Structure 1
Amino acid sequence: MLGLATVIAGYLLGSISSAVLICQLFRLPDPRLHGSGNPGATNVLRLGGKLPALLVLISDILKGTIPVWGGYFLGLSPWVLALVGVAATLGHIYPLYFKMQGGKGVATALGAIAPIGWQVLLMLGATWLAVAAISRYSSLASIVACSLTPLYVYLVRPEHPEYIAPVSLLIALILWRHRANMVRLYQGTEPKLGAKRNAGPETD
């Protein structure tokens, strides 16, 4: 029962749309209706600049970190913790309070993985920045970083191989949400970082 309650709490916390609320705070357009139509940090960056985008990014990360950390201190098993992380990410993707219109879940998934070790975050951040700087594609950077996450988790926590499968489950969800981005990348129609505000769908 404790594990189920934590999973439900993770979903409810993840359902808080940081992008929508912060855009309201800064009197910006609804990110679900403007720009790419995606309520995530990348779209908010285009709509309102760096500060609101940074706040969205931090908030989305915390939505994943807080319930997983809480479950960790409650002594839940790695698989239950993974379900908490998946629930928080699903809350971001399909938010209960915002008509199920959510983002891609990258930042929230990142937050859910964060309790495994800060080194994982650094490796993922460095990977994202390197790929984004070279390609100028936010989606490609997210896809590459996510794909390497199980490897990074193993390198940081080789003494806990039980983390690999749950993390892989979470990453599979994120990659599935990026299937349209993958098609556009293949077709050469994916919008690059720095494109105009009315560009196509984003990654976060």
Structure 2
Amino acid sequence: MNPAAFKLYLIWCLGAFLSGSIPFGLLLVKLAGKGDVRAQGSGNIGATNVMRAGGKALGIATLLLDAAKGFLPVFIAKKFGFAPEFLAFVALAAVLGHVFTPWLRFQGGKGVATALGCVLAYHAPMVVPAFGAFLLCLLVFRYVSLGSVVAALVLLLTAMGFLGAWARLPVQEGMAQWPILAWALLVGLVIRKHSANINRLVQGTESKFWGSSRNV
């Protein structure tokens, strides 16, 4: 890769990182006069905790905006003609921005909604198996955290082609290792951010999405 192209890629990734770093959940709850979402519930700035702190409307708005901030940088880069091998790293940068937002001392959310937006812009069929796995886990076990972790793992399997060619990564022959690396890092990041939830699931103390108090 020549230096000019590398510099251009870095600029796009920086733009995606900044897009992902916008803490919509925190901003919406504050603008609604509901206080600091980080001081409520699980302390997370994502849609589930926003719903707890500010109601369903704010939670849905946060989900859509968090997805949009992942969708837009990947979608725009795709429209500019960047190859899928590079788009995967734009997606990774957007999720990194959400998880390590510089405006909150690099403490952000868990990246699920932003990752969803990235995948929709990157290659929408990849979403189908992961979303199905999420819904199944949520309906059967009622744990958002479990659904998110399982969906992330299914997304990686889909990207690698284990669930069929119809949903796998649209990359050039011989180049698949690079986007798979990016998606593997993205999935690993999302799962790592759910480590506390995983510990509670193992211990049987994780709260469910409906019923008692929640820690998602």
**Any unmatched runs of 5+ in structure 2?**
1-6
Residue number in structure 2 paired with 1:178: 194
Residue number in structure 1 paired with 2:10: 4
CA distance 1:158–1:85, shift in 2 (3 Å):
closer
Residue number in structure 1 paired with 2:122: 116
Give yes or no for the alignment of 1:139 onto 2:145. yes
Question: 1:132-172: per-residue Cα shift (whole Å, max 9, x none)?
Answer: 11111110000111100023333313663724333222111
TM-score by length of 2: 0.84
Question: 1:58-95: per-residue Cα shift (whole Å, max 9, x none)?
Answer: 11111111111122223334343222212111111111
CA distance 1:55–1:69, shift in 2 (3 Å):
same
Bigger shift: residues 118-127 or 80-89: 118-127
TM-score by length of 1: 0.89
Residue number in structure 2 paired with 1:157: 168
Q: Which amino acid aligns with 1:150?
A: L
RMSD in angstroms over aligned alpha carbons? 1.9
Give yes or no for the alignment of 1:192 onto 2:198. no
Q: Could you tell me how far apart the structure 2 residues matched to 1:144 and 1:61 are? A: 19
- Report deviation, 1:21: 1.2
Which of 84, 106, 127 matches 1:100?
A: 106
Which of 37, 41, 45 matches 1:39?
A: 45
Give yes or no for the alignment of 1:168 onto 2:178. no
- Report deviation, 1:109: 1.3
Q: Could you tell me how far apart the structure 1 residues matched to 2:72 and 2:99 are? A: 17
CA distance 1:149–1:121, shift in 2 (3 Å):
same
- Report deviation, 1:196: 5.0
CA contact (8 A) 1:15 1:94 kept: yes
CA contact (8 A) 2:123 2:170 kept: no
Bigger shift: residues 99-108 or 139-148: 99-108
CA radius of gyration, larger in: 2
Q: Could you tell me how far apart the structure 2 residues matched to 1:26 and 1:124 are? A: 32
| More RCO (CA 8 Å, sep 6+) | 1
Q: Which amino acid aligns with 2:209?
A: L
Give yes or no for the alignment of 1:130 onto 2:130. no
CA contact (8 A) 1:93 1:100 kept: yes
Question: 1:17-70: per-residue Cα shift (whole Å, max 9, x none)?
Answer: 010111123222311111110000010111222211111001111111111112
**Any unmatched runs of 5+ in structure 1?**
none
Q: How many residues align?
A: 200
Q: Which amino acid aligns with 1:168?
A: A
Residue number in structure 2 paired with 1:29: 35
- Report deviation, 1:122: 3.2
